[in-house]
């Protein structure tokens, strides 16, 4: 059955590409208030699109950016139901001058679609929409019931979706959740994520004086908060990259032998990290390879750092305050609240007299997630991936975070198939984000096969 549907999808190649390009033209940047109308427009566009392909769809309020919900339940109550999750919001496109083409006027160059959201995540959930469209358009019976939940606050760690899911448990009831918001390991090597890192994000302010001071009159007589903060931050890790916060690693899980064998199969090298990042060498905790550091070890990173005068020219100022944004990627079993407490206490302990620190949590911690690899629904995804890409998927511990996975686990309690259609080289969250046309087409095929295998 899936062959006929795939053949139809291939005939529709141009149309399916054009639909994605139209969707990518809507700058649904969830973080920027000036794009609020565009966010709503993307939701409305998507809702219309889902209706046109034959689903019942609606835009639903959440208290923040709306979600788009759609369903097709005509396979009947004795057939399984898939809930496909995705996000229609995108990261800000800035810095704009580093894009080769307009981030919101997607173009295809050398078989690759360039545009913000092309890989993360419009292009990936559109693959599932096009799979469903391919069944419905030619009246091939869709073998399973399908629901879509496409949200608009993923890129801002949105506070509303968890409550929405809890309040709509019946509406979202399903047998499996499918999420394509990650990457293949290589164009012909699929992966199924079975762990995601969580995230804890906070900001710290170091203050020494009541207001900025003349650095000639006061320099040498009062603490400089930028220097003090730099010294505190520098002590959060040793020179090898090992985090020195007490108890930080206490709950980190030791991998079992299956996991170590899977990690050994991951085609990820130091060279690849260097090539993709432009870094002249890799740097990380001794004793772990790059795949382990990416998925199995927690991090502590400075995401922003500022103080004093950063404009053009010289200004002889002794700043009153210094700031840093810091985040930790947490692995399963680490408790975000406890980790936050340990980090804050340690930073306080490192703070010299004359300096005071204040903290603000920017994103309530999301804990890391572990997923049951053996569930039959996940095995259906594995078979679909193998048939599409020619290789059995590798089970991967992912470094990024997809916070909704925790909500799905807590509220719906069903297996979650995390089958990514992008590539790690797609520049997500960066200038020139892109998505190979081939990845889109293969994603559609994989989705058609998944719906059939299920
Ligand atoms: N698609 C990414 C998550 C991801 C990144 C999965 C790389 C696999 C590989 C997702 O849109 C994302 O960026 N999530 C944020 C979540 C955060 C804002 C809570 C992340 O990981 O930074
Ligand atoms: Mn994403």
Residue 139 predicted with pLDDT over 90: no
Residue 315: the pLDDT is 98
Taking the C-alpha atoms of residue 318 and residue 268, their distance in angstroms, rounded to an integer, is 46
- Ligand 1 centroid, distance to 118 Cα (angstroms): 14
The tens digit of pLDDT for each residue in 167-188 reads 999 999 999 999 999 999 999 9
Q: What is the pLDDT of residues 240-259, one digit of tens each?
A: 999 999 999 999 999 999 99
| Predicted pLDDT of residue 296 | 97
CB-based burial, 104-123: b 16+ in 10 Å, e otherwise: bebeeeeebbbbbbbbbbbb
- Which atom of ligand 1 is found nearest the CA of 87? 11
Which ligand places an atom closest to the C-alpha of 157? 1
By the 8 A CB rule, do 75 and 144 touch? yes
400 CA distance to ligand 1 centroid (A)?
Answer: 5
Q: How far is the CA of 209 from the centre of ligand 2 (A)?
A: 41
Nearest to 370 by CA among 285, 252, 290: 252
d(C-alpha 229, C-alpha 207), whole Å:
9
Ligand sitting nearest the alpha carbon of 117? 2
| pLDDT for 447 | 98
- CATH code of 2-196+368-453, in short, is 3.40.630.10
Q: Which CATH number is 198-252+298-364 given? A: 3.30.70.360
pLDDT digits (tens, 9 = 90+) for 426-444: 999 999 999 999 999 999 9
Placement of tokens 């092309």 in the chain: 118
**From atom 17 of ligand 1, which residue's Cα is the shortest distance away?**
157
Q: What is the pLDDT of residues 323-343, one digit of tens each?
A: 999 999 999 999 999 999 999
Q: Which ligand is nearest to the CA of 420?
A: 1
Pocket test residue of 121, 400, 421 for ligand 1, highest count of atoms within 8 A of CB: 400
**255 class by beta-carbon count within 10 Å (0-12 exposed, 13-18 middle, 19+ buried):** middle
Q: How far is the CA of 72 from the centre of ligand 1 (A)?
A: 28
Cis check: omega of the bond before 233, within 30 degrees of 0: no
Residue 32 backbone phi and psi in degrees, to 5 = -105, 115
Minimum-distance ligand to the CA of 123? 2
Q: How far is the CA of 47 from the centre of ligand 1 (A)?
A: 24
Task: Please identify, by atom number, the ligand 1 atom nearest to the C-alpha of residue 329.
Answer: 21
Task: Please state the atom number of ligand 1 nearest to the C-alpha of residue 197.
Answer: 21
Q: Is 129 exposed, middle or buried (0-12, 13-18, 19+ CB in 10 A)?
A: buried
Residue with tokens 């053996």: 374
Residues 6+ apart with CB under 8 A from 102: none
Q: Which of 439 and 139 is assigned the larger pLDDT?
A: 439
User: Which of the four pLDDT bands, split at 50, 70 and 90, describes residue 38?
Assistant: very high
Nearest CA to ligand 1 atom 14: 401
Contact yes or no for 385/187 (Cβ under 8 A): no
CB of 199 within 6 A of ligand 1: the answer is yes
Q: Which of 53-67, 148-162, 428-442 has the weakest average pLDDT?
A: 148-162
Q: Is the CB of 200 under 6 A from ligand 1?
A: no
Give the confidence band of 140 by pLDDT, cuts at 50, 70, 90. confident
Q: How far is the CA of 315 from the centre of ligand 2 (A)?
A: 41
Nearest atom of ligand 1 to the alpha carbon of 401: 21
CA distance 147 to 201: 32
d(C-alpha 231, C-alpha 305), whole Å = 13
Q: Which of 125, 159, 179, 181 to probe ligand 1 with, by most ligand atoms within 8 A of CB?
A: 181
Domain limits, the chain: 2-196+368-453, 198-252+298-364
298 touches ligand 1 (CB under 6 Å): no
pTM over 0.85: yes
Looking at all shown ligands, the one closest to residue 183's CA atom is: 1
How far apart are the C-alpha atoms of 288 and 365, rounded to whole Å?
25
- Given a contact cutoff of 8 angstroms between Cβ atoms, the answer to whether 318 and 222 are in contact is yes
As a whole number, the mean pLDDT across the chain is: 97
């Amino acid at each position: 059955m899936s062959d006929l549907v795939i053949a139809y999808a291939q005939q529709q190649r141009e149309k399916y590409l054009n639909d994605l390009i139209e969707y990518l033209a809507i700058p649904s940047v969830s973080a920027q208030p000036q794009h609020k109308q565009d966010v709503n427009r993307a939701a409305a566009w998507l809702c219309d699109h889902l209706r046109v392909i034959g689903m019942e769809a609606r835009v639903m309020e959440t208290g923040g950016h709306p979600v788009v919900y759609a369903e097709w339940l005509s396979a009947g109550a004795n057939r399984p139901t898939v809930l496909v999750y995705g996000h229609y919001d995108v990261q800000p496109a800035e810095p704009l001058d580093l894009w080769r083409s307009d981030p919101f006027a997607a173009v295809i160059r050398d078989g690759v679609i360039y545009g913000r959201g092309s890989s993360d995540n419009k292009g990936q959930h559109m693959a599932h929409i096009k799979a469903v469209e391919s069944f419905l358009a030619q009246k091939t019976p869709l073998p399973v019931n399908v629901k879509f939940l496409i949200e608009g606050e993923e890129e801002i760690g949105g506070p509303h979706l968890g409550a929405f899911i809890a309040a709509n448990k019946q509406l979202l009831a399903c047998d499996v959740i499918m999420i394509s918001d990650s990457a293949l390991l290589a164009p012909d090597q699929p992966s199924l994520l079975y762990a995601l890192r969580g995230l804890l994000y906070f900001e710290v302010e170091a203050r020494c004086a009541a207001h900025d001071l003349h650095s000639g009159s006061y320099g040498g007589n009062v603490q400089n908060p930028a220097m003090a903060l730099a010294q505190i931050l520098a002590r959060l890790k040793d020179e090898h990259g090992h985090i020195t916060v007490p108890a930080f690693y206490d709950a980190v899980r030791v991998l079992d032998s299956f996991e170590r064998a899977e990690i050994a199969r991951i085609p990820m090298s130091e060279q690849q990290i260097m090539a993709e990042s432009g870094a002249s060498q890799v740097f990380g905790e001794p004793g772990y390879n790059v795949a382990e550091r990416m998925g199995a070890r927690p991090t502590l990173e400075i995401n922003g750092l500022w103080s004093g005068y950063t404009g053009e020219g010289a200004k002889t100022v002794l700043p009153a305050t210094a700031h840093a944004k810091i985040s930790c990627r947490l692995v399963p079993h680490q408790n975000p609240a406890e980790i936050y407490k340990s980090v804050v206490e340690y930073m306080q302990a490192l703070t010299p007299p004359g300096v005071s620190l204040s903290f603000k949590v920017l994103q309530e911690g999301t804990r890391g997630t572990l997923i049951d690899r053996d569930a039959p629904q996940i095995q259906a995804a594995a078979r679909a991936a193998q048939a599409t890409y020619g290789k059995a998927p590798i089970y991967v511990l992912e470094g990024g975070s997809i916070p909704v996975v925790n909500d799905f686990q807590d509220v719906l309690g069903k297996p979650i198939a995390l089958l990514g259609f992008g590539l790690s080289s797609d520049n997500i969250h960066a200038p020139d984000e892109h998505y190979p046309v081939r990845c889109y087409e293969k994603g559609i095929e994989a989705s058609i096969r998944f719906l059939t295998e299920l």
